[in-house]
Structures are given as C-alpha cells and as structure tokens.
A = this chain, B = another copy of it.
Amino acid sequence: MKLGLVGLGRMGSNMRERLRDRGHDAVGYDPNPEVSDVASLEALVEVLPAPRAVWVMVPAGQPTREVIGQLSHLLSPGDLVVDGGNSRFTDDHVHAALLAEHGIHYVDCGVSGGVWGRQNGYALMAGGDETDITRLLPVFDALRPDGERADSFVHAGGVGAGHYAKMVHNGIEYGLMQAYAEGYELLAAEESIQDVPAVLRAWSQGTVVRSWLLDLLVQALSEDPALSSISGYTEDSGEGRWTVEEAIAHAVPAPVISAALFARFASRQDDSPAMKAVSALRQQFGGHAIRRAAPAGIA
C-alpha cells in the first residue's frame, strides 16, 4: 500500500527500505532534502491517496508533538496517523485527542529491533482501534520478521497500549543488560578466569542465559576483549525512567529495573554527591581518613 513516512533518520530510512523491498510504496519526508522524497510535509500529504496513512518516526517529545500538530491541519477526516517513535504512552492520549478533533485516526506503535531491524525485521506493539490496526496489517507484516505474526506483532490494546508495551520491553532490557554486565565484571575481576570473552562465548548455545543480547556482548568482546576503548558513561533514553515511574504508580516492586536505571545515572557522575556525604560522615564519627577532592583544573 502507499504510505507516508515522516522522519528519515536511521530508523525511518531503514524502515522505508524494508517496506519498499516488500512491495509497499513508501514515500518519505524529512527536513533534510538529501534523504527526503518530497519537498515538504504538505507535498507528502498531497501525493498520498485518501484515506491516507502517515507513519511518524521522529524523536519523542517536542519533535513528535510538532509533526502531529502540523498533520492535524494537513490531513483530512478518515486519514490515519501512526506514531512509531518512542513516545511516552501518556503522549498518545494527547495526540489521539488532538487528531480526533479533526476526524483523524491514531495508532501508536512501539518498534523494536534497532539497526538490525532493516534485515531481521522489527517487532511491533500497536495500540488503537481494531479497524485502524486491521487497515495497517499489510504494513506491519512487511516490517516484522517473517514467521508467525504473533511472534513479532501484538495489538496490545487501545491507544497508548503499544507504547506502554514497548516501554516495559525497554525496562526489561535495562535489567537484562545490567545482569550480564554484573556477571561480566565479576568474571573480569576473578583471576582464575583466563579468558573472559571465551567464557561468555561458550554460553551462546545450550545455556539458560543464551539470548540475542548475549550474542551482541560476545560480538563486542570479540572486537575489544577488555572493552578498553569504551567508557562506562551510559545514557538513558526515557523508557527506563517511565517504567520505574509506572511501577511506582502501580505499586509493583521493580528492584532490578530501578537498579539498572540508577547504575546508568551513577555512570555519568564524575563524583557522587551522596558518597561525599557518606565519606564526610565516616570522617566525623570515626576519624576515618577521607580522600580529598582533586583541586579544580586537575582531573
């Protein structure tokens, strides 16, 4: 089918290619003319046959809000917008309500797969009305991996449920990565282990911990066996935070996911104010030696 695609960054342009490979007429718009198929959002809307379907693939928050605001004026009743970015599920309700004022339908869709999705297919978690989801099934089927639809696609519920499912997916991802990372650090600290990358590689088949993330860690260690070129400074991109916030809102204990999130926060601190306080306390009550902070200007 003919589909508009807004946002041609790494994810968007890969998805355009995959859709075209599978016979869909994906027309992309991006402010960057080097990658864009059309000159403007208006032009994109014009080339699409009504009822139109436009898949938005831009960063969550303000960028997505802006595109959806513009589309609310450009599209017509009966058209359909999909937000395939990493929006917070709470934004979906705002977007859906705004578009509904203009008779425009809305579907949110969490997309997983990263840079590998172009080749392997993307897993998709969609939220919205049954009829809108059904209308998009050919697109979903083209984007997802081959095989049974239920193994890589779910209509998770009403508007917002797709991003909710994707948010939880990413929260789990934080916990999984941290579990492997703690095990890696312990192996690396133990002198009796002669070849840490070889141990992790030996878990690739037959073990309980085998997974795609493990394969990626084996790959990373094959390129850099002690990860000496990589800093531990680690960003977080929202979903981990939202998952813990939702756990709190639902009174669900989430010690593992929150620990993984806090480890990222800590990784970005040059020094920990909290640990300065602990160190100060130890000095106060025990006369324990403290380490002086380095003078400014000296690392």
Contacts and interface: CB of A to CB of B under 8 A. Distances in A.
Contacts of A50: none
B113 A207 contact: yes
Interface in A177-197: 177-190, 192-195
Contact of A190 (B113, B241, B250): B250
A202 to B, nearest CB: 4
**5 nearest A-B residue pairs (beta carbon):** A175-B179, A211-B211, A232-B275, A299-B299, A154-B202
17 contacts: A144-B206, A154-B195, A154-B202, A156-B199, A164-B193, A175-B180, A175-B183, A177-B282, A184-B274, A189-B252, A208-B212, A227-B276, A229-B292, A231-B276, A244-B258, A251-B268, A256-B259
Contact of A150 (B10, B120, B202, B245): B202
A293 B181 CA distance: 17
Give the size category of A's interface with B.
35 or more
Given A193-B164, A217-B277, A266-B266, A233 B286 contact: no
Contacts of A187: 165, 168
A117 interface: yes
Interface in A132-182: 144-145, 147, 150-158, 160-161, 164-165, 168-182
Contact of A151 (B182, B205, B217, B251): B205
Interface stretch (A24-32, A52-60, A122-130): A122-130
A123 B293 contact: no
Nearest to A260: B256
A46 B83 CA distance: 56
A227 B114 contact: no
B10 A202 contact: no
A227 to B, nearest CB: 4
Interface of A: 10, 89, 112-117, 120-125, 127, 144-145, 147, 150-158, 160-161, 164-165, 168-190, 192-195, 198-199, 201-214, 216-217, 219-221, 224, 227-235, 241, 243-248, 250-268, 271-294, 299
B190 A164 contact: yes
A157 B286 CA distance: 27
B286 A230 contact: no
Contacts of A268: 251
Given A177-B277, A217-B280, A267-B279, 14 more contacts: A10-B287, A114-B285, A120-B205, A125-B202, A152-B206, A154-B202, A168-B186, A182-B254, A182-B255, A211-B213, A255-B262, A256-B259, A264-B275, A264-B278
A80 to B, nearest CB: 20
A156 B193 contact: yes
B154 A198 contact: yes
B209 A210 contact: no
B154 A254 contact: no
